[in-house]
């Protein structure tokens, strides 16, 4: 048996974890989506709840910048001396020479402080750790060609100033792209955990140790600590791990992985997700137990009618905060205003299942809108409504294709639905596609199906990048009033469409 279910599904990659008493806190990369750095909490390591986001305002991160899969890379969360700390990289800031950023909070649900930048730390994937004297050390994957490798230096957390010249700690085991460092002082040893091999099929976690934080570091005889490379397992790309000591003294690790489907090379569509493994210590080295924590499939369904002024932290904007283009409607629902200057007004949420159905209903009396599933600006499928006609569009590589139009009864706002269904199996038991995307609209017991479309073109293997699919509602012209958005974990793909229509 090998665990096949993530503890946090959907594109929640590069997990980092800390513990305070009996509660664990986990954060992830968020890339171009805002608010940034989602924060989950758990008391059992298996069941997690989204408690907020760390980057929630423009004094922490600028809007309207970057490109798909830019933004926030691989942050680390730690708890020290009664305070939570997050250190991360905004790759949009690298050309500005700001270095990594450091924020803190008394409560992981926020609010989090404005950032302190750490100049002289050009790179990605930073980590922070405090030594026995209480001195903070920042460690990162350098992108400075004159000083490459995994670098580390002491830092003043009040000012962001390095207190010594960065030193190279370890170059890894020889695999490509040594990155994602985490330092731990455990007993008499300093352990340095890395991600290696790239975040695709060659991904791995490796570890080394030293008697001092400066090194030299010796590689574990068990390396790679974790990898599924070249193995016929349903979860692939595993790596980028973070260790955690449990309240009872046992150990575990979180790591990223993907669930590819379809013919070779396999296609993952929900991004890189967060998984959990156990840790044993053998002769002073960590050894992975992948079966210690069985994870059962989770129902991720939600229905949001936007009945409160503050929207749920699941909702994201593409490079902008949702608060800049949404406002409550006085009679219920949510107003979405179209964006200017080529930016987005897409209110989006991550897809989290291998099979799902999502629907919405909005009024287009004062504008036009659309309901989409997307990976990036150039790759999305969706349904547009202008008050009279529903138009289905499949956009691949930036080339939009109209695949159908339908007119609902006059004066009735239709429901718009997008579903992801399992692809049919070929005789040898493999499907061509990872899934099929169905586009449907309906009103007054009349339903119009536009067809099903190949899910490969909304997969990371086709589009590239580091994110996964989101569903979202966007005002493309003027203003729309959204009555609700509903998402269903699809345990019965045949029935779900009709069940959701009946719920309108």
Candidates 161, 52, 77, 64; CA nearest to 116 is 161
Instruction: Name the 3-class secondary structure at 133.
Output: coil
Which of 125, 179, 433, 474 is an active site residue? 179
Catalytic annotation on 179? Answer: yes
The answer to whether the Cα torsion of 197, 200, 202, 206 is positive or negative is positive
- Report whether 243 contacts 184 (CB < 8 A): yes
The answer to whether the Cα torsion of 458, 463, 464, 465 is positive or negative is negative
- Complete DSSP assignment for 447-491: EEEEEEEEGGGGSHHHH-SS---EEEEEEEEEEEEEEEEEEEE-S
* Angle (CA) 22 25 29, round 5°: 165
Which of 14, 273, 290, 433 is an active site residue? 14
- Report whether 181 contacts 194 (CB < 8 A): yes
CA–CA separation, 467 and 346 (whole Å): 16
Close Cβ partners of 503 (under 8 Å, ≥ 6 residues apart):
303, 486
- Report whether 166 contacts 214 (CB < 8 A): no
Q: What is the SS3 assignment for 385-452?
A: ECCCCEEEEEEECCEEEEEEEECCCCCCCCEEEEEEECCCECCCCCECCCCEEEEEEEECCEEEEEEE
For 354-386, b/e burial (b = at least 16 CB within 10 A) is bbbbbbbbbbbeebbbbbbbbbbeebbbbbbbe
Catalytic annotation on 125? Answer: no
Catalytic residues: 14, 179
């Amino acid at each position: 048996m090998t665990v096949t279910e993530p503890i946090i599904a959907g594109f929640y990659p590069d997990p980092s974890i800390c513990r305070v008493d009996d509660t664990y806190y986990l954060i992830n990369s968020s890339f171009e989506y805002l608010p940034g750095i989602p924060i989950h909490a758990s008391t059992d390591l298996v069941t997690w709840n989204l408690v907020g986001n760390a980057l929630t305002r423009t004094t922490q991160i600028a809007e309207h910048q970057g490109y798909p899969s830019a933004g926030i890379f691989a942050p680390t969360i730690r708890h020290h001396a009664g305070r939570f700390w997050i250190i991360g990289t905004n790759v949009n800031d690298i050309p500005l020479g700001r270095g990594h950023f450091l924020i803190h909070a008394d409560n992981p649900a926020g609010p989090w402080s404005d950032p302190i930048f750490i100049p002289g730390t050009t790179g990605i994937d930073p980590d922070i750790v405090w030594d026995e004297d209480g001195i903070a050390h920042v460690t990162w994957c350098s992108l400075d060609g004159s000083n490459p490798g995994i670098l580390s230096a002491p830092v003043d957390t009040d000012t962001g100033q390095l207190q010594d010249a960065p030193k190279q700690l370890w170059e890894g085991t020889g695999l490509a792209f040594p990155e994602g460092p985490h330092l731990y002082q455990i007993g008499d040893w300093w352990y340095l955990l890395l991600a290696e091999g790239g975040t695709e099929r060659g991904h791995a976690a490796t570890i080394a140790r030293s008697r001092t934080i400066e090194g030299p570091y010796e590689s574990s005889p068990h390396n790679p600590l974790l990898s599924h490379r070249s193995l016929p397992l349903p979860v692939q790309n595993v790596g980028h791990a973070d260790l955690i000591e449990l309240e009872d003294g046992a150990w575990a690790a979180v790591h990223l992985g993907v669930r590819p489907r379809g013919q070779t090379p396999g296609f993952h569509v929900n991004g890189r997700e967060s998984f959990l493994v156990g840790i044993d210590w053998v002769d002073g080295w960590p050894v992975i137990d992948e079966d210690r924590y069985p994870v059962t499939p989770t129902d991720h369904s939600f229905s949001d009618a936007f009945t409160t002024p503050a929207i749920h932290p699941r909702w994201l904007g593409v490079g902008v905060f949702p608060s800049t283009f949404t406002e409550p409607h006085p009679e219920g629902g949510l107003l979405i205003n179209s964006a200017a200057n080529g930016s987005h007004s897409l209110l989006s949420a991550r897809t989290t299942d291998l099979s799902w159905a999502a629907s919405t209903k909005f009024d287009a009396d004062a504008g036009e809108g659309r309901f989409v599933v997307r990976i990036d600006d150039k790759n999305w499928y969706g349904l547009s409504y202008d008050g009279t006609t529903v138009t289905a569009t499949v956009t691949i590589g930036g080339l939009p294709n109209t695949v159908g139009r339908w007119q609902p009864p006059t004066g009735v706002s239709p429901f718009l639905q997008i579903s992801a269904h399992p692809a049919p199996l070929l005789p040898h038991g493999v499907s061509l596609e990872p899934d099929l995307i169905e586009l449907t609209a309906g009103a007054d017991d009349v339903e119009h199906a536009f067809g099903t479309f190949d899910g490969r073109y909304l997969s990371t293997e086709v589009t590239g990048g580091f994110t996964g699919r989101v569903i979202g509602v966007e005002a493309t012209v003027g203003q729309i009033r959204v009555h609700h958005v509903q998402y269903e974990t699809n345990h019965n793909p045949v029935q779900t469409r009709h069940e959701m229509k009946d719920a309108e």
